[in-house]
Amino acid sequence: MSLLFPNLKIPANKICETCLKAKQARKKLNKTKIRTRSNILLENVHSDVDELSIRSFDGEKYFVTFIDEASHFTTVFNLKNRSEVLKYYKFYENRMTSMCFRQNIINLYCDNGGEYGSKEFEEYTTSKGTVLHKTIRKTSSLNGIAERMNRTIMDRARACN
């Protein structure tokens, strides 16, 4: 701040409360891990939908991430509506199962949002043999891998603006 505004009198030992609040994150729920990280491709996939801060040129307002737990290979799709998640999940599943020579995704971890709770989505995942693990609503720390990736994506997008 002193470089930007040399005439502004800011004490050197004062901590800027606004800066601290902007960088705060929620604390983890547990210090101990509930389960160990998977080493098998497509055994555990984490997914989340987040809103973009600005609309894209094509009018997309949301994005969905799919993250393989073993490799942390991340795929991001832009969405116009949250209801498009099933279409992009099918595309992701077909692409990844053919690339990894697997039959299906075993576990899908996601938040308890409406896009994952639709009857169509649940029927499709159960027909493919995928177990859908939903977290408690408004508890983003339970879906930590996907939430952290969303935060990283949004930080990088803001840095490019």
Q: What is the pLDDT of residues 19-74, one digit of tens each?
A: 666 766 666 666 566 677 889 999 999 999 999 888 888 889 999 999 999 999 99
> If DSSP codes are grouped into helix, strand and coil, which group holds residue 64?
strand
- Percentage with pLDDT > 70 across the chain: 83
> If DSSP codes are grouped into helix, strand and coil, which group holds residue 120?
helix
The token pair that represents 47 in the structure block: 């997914």
User: For residue 151, which amino acid is it?
Assistant: R
Cα angle 150, 66, 29 (rounded to 5 degrees) comes to 55
Q: How far apart are CA 156 and CA 38, in angstroms?
A: 27
The mean per-residue pLDDT over the stretch 132-142 comes to 83
Q: How far apart are CA 122 and CA 151, in angstroms?
A: 27
pTM of the model: 0.77
Q: How far apart are CA 3 and CA 142, in angstroms?
A: 40
Q: How confident is the model at residue 157 (pLDDT cuts 50, 70, 90)?
A: confident
Neighbours of 121 (CB within 10 A): 20
Q: How far apart are CA 104 and CA 32, in angstroms?
A: 30
